[in-house]
Each structure stands twice: as C-alpha cells, then as structure tokens.
Amino acid sequence: MYHVAVVGAGAIGNPVAFGLSQHWAIGRVTIIDADRVVLSNLARQPWFQTGDIGAYKAPLLVERVGGHQSVIKWQAITEMLREDNAGSLLADADLVIDATDNWETRLTIQDWARKWQRPWIFNSAVRLEGMSLGLIPGGPCLRCWFGTSQTEGPQCFEAGVLGSVTLAVAGQALTLFDQWVRNPRQPSGLWLVDGIEGKFRVISPKAMRCVHYGNG
Amino acid sequence: MEMDDATLERYARQVLVEEIGYDGQCAILQTPLRVTAPDGVWRDLVCRYLSAAGFPITVADGVDPALVVSGEKYRQEIPLGSDIGRLMMAVGQAITRVILSTASEK
Ligand SMILES: [Zn+2]
C-alpha cells in the first residue's frame, strides 16, 4: 500500500483526493496546502461550499473526501511546501502528485524527488487545456521537457479555467499513478487534455538523459 | 438575466474562459440538467461538478451501469466500470462538453 503526498488542495487537489480515496493501492494520503477557501474557488473545487469560506483547504478536503474511510490514513498539513520544509513534509511519501499552480513549488517537489529518487506527477490546467506528466528517477526532468523559460508562463488566476478540465487532469494523474504501480521504471509520456476538441493526446516519452540533476 | 457581484465572483474563473464569458455563464445558470445514474460516488461526482459550474440539477436513480446527463437539447452518457482515472477523465470531458454547448447557445 502506497503513501501518496498531494501538494495543493485546490482545483486539481480536490479531484485527485477523490480519485485516491477510491484507489485500491492507497494506504496513506498527505495533503499539503496553506491556502484558505475563497468564494471564487467554489466553481471548480466542488468539495468546498459557501460555509467553508475562510477555512483551511487541506483539513476540509481530508474531512470531506477521506473522513468516512478507515482503510486509508489521511493527513492534512496547512503549510506551504518550501525548499526548507520539503524534506520533513514529504519524508515518507512513495510518490508526490503536484496539484499546485506554480512552477516554483513544482521545482521544489522535483528537487526533493531527485534527491530521494522518488517519482512524482506534474499537472497543470489553464482555460480548456491541461497536462499531466509522470517523472521518474533517472528519466527526463521538468526542465528537460519544458525548458527553463517555461516558469514565466501564464498562471491560472489570470487566464481562467474550468473545473471539469481540472477533473480530467486529475483523471490523467490517477491513470499515470496506475501506470507507475504496474511498472515503476516505465517512463511516462506527456498527457494532454483538449477540452475544445473533447480529446486526449499523449506525446511519447522523451529518450534523453537529464543534464540538470547530478544523479541523473 | 444579470449576475450580482457575489455570483460573478463565484464564477469568475469560468467567465474568464473566452468560450464561456458572461453570457455563457448566465446560460449555464438557467439550463436545468438531469443526472440519471445508480446511487454512489460517481453520481455524486457528476452532480458536484455540474452544480459547482452553476447548472440547476435534478437527480434520478438509474438502473444501467452508466452516468447520464440530459437536458432539453442534449444527452451525454458515460459508461461506468473503467479504471478510476479513465472514468474521471471521461466525466471531466463530458462535463466540459455540456458547459461549452450550453455556453454556445447563449
Ligand atoms: Zn533534466
């Protein structure tokens, strides 16, 4: 049984937590988010309601999604993941799912993952499009896939996004988790949600050696 | 119809999506949908997302292993029974289609 840490309890974290709660291979889930619920979250973070405004997201999500379960051990952390606390907050995680909306935190997850040789799953959603990517130790990293300039891309608070797109992205993340459970050494492709065409696409795994991390 | 400030703020991120916009969100708020499916977490999931997007919904017990979303002008059916991740992907895309077709009728 695996321990999965989810960084972010927002639009992607909500359905990821739901998916994990239904998954046979999960023994423990840790949800990390320092944010509180605001009104504009409700349209795409549907485990939160009007009465939750002002409350911390992580413990609410644990209560709503995992509260009635005895099989999975749920834990909520109301801190922001940073370089100096990643080691302790992620300590026992077998895999980390990125449900953040910023590149800085993703790179923090990745630095931790490379240091401890753990897999993680990158996710993002903007407008009607979404992406998911599984990153395994020794395979290409986020910088290999997207280049170093990507960190300046538009953030979802400016561009708008649909909750149904973030749900589809979370579904991709769960599918990539399944893939990793079946074969932890198989590199993942880049999975794309195209909400306009109503399609999914997969860009094949890159056959490249990472030059960004020493242990490669 | 017009949205008051709180309603507009609630749906702000959807309204910002070009294909939805202000009029599209108003159309969503005035388009009743019916969700027909066996009682359980998947029906609950579909209802959560449609309600959160702004649709007025009613729920009915279905006997087929499928999630059916129906409105006056369309019907979406998602078979139950695939992997959790695949089913979440299918539900997400189906709801996006419902949102986009509703918004384009504005
Ligand atoms: Zn690299």
**How far apart are the CA of B50 and the nearest CA of chain A, in angstroms?**
9
Predicted TM-score (pTM) of the model is: 0.96
Query: How many structural domains comprise chain A?
Result: 1
User: Nearest Cα to B91, choosing from A18, A74, A31?
Assistant: A18
Where does residue A111 rank: exposed (0-12), middle (13-18), buried (19+ CB within 10 A)?
Answer: middle
Residue A212 lies in a domain: no
Residue A182 lies in a domain: yes
**How far apart are the CA of A9 and the nearest CA of chain B, in angstroms?**
16
Please give the ipTM for the structure prediction. 0.97
For the segment A149-174, the average pLDDT, to the nearest whole number, is 82
Q: Are A127 and A139 in contact (CB under 8 A)?
A: no
Q: What sign does the dihedral B54-B58-B62-B68 (CA atoms) show?
A: negative
| Residues of A whose CB is below 8 A from B83 | 174-175, 178
Exposure of B83 in the CB half-sphere (CA atoms within 13 A): 15
With CA atoms as reference, the chain A residue closest to B84 would be: A19
**CB contact (8 A) between residue A171 and residue B85:** yes
Residue A214 lies in a domain: no
pLDDT tens figures, B59-85: 999 988 999 999 998 899 999 988 999
For the segment A191-205, the average pLDDT, to the nearest whole number, is 94
**CB contact (8 A) between residue B17 and residue A167:** no
Domain that includes residue A187, residue range? 2-203
Residue A122 lies in a domain: yes
Q: In CATH, what number is assigned to the domain containing residue A35?
A: 3.40.50.720
Q: Are A180 and A136 in contact (CB under 8 A)?
A: yes
Residue A57 lies in a domain: yes
pLDDT tens for chain B, 106 residues long, are 999 999 999 999 999 999 999 999 999 999 999 999 999 999 999 999 999 999 999 999 998 899 999 999 889 999 998 899 999 999 999 999 999 999 998 6
Residue in A160, A175, A176 nearest the CB of B17: A160
Residues of A with CB under 8 A from a CB of B: 15, 18-19, 22-23, 39-40, 42-47, 127-128, 156-178, 193, 195-196, 198, 200
Residue A23 lies in a domain: yes
Residue A25 lies in a domain: yes
**CB contact (8 A) between residue B16 and residue A164:** no
User: Nearest Cα to A167, choosing from B84, B105, B103, B18?
Assistant: B84
pLDDT at residue A155 tops 60? no
| Residues of A whose CB is below 8 A from B19 | 128, 196
Residue A213 lies in a domain: no
Where does residue A80 rank: exposed (0-12), middle (13-18), buried (19+ CB within 10 A)?
Answer: middle
- What rounded mean pLDDT belongs to chain B? 95
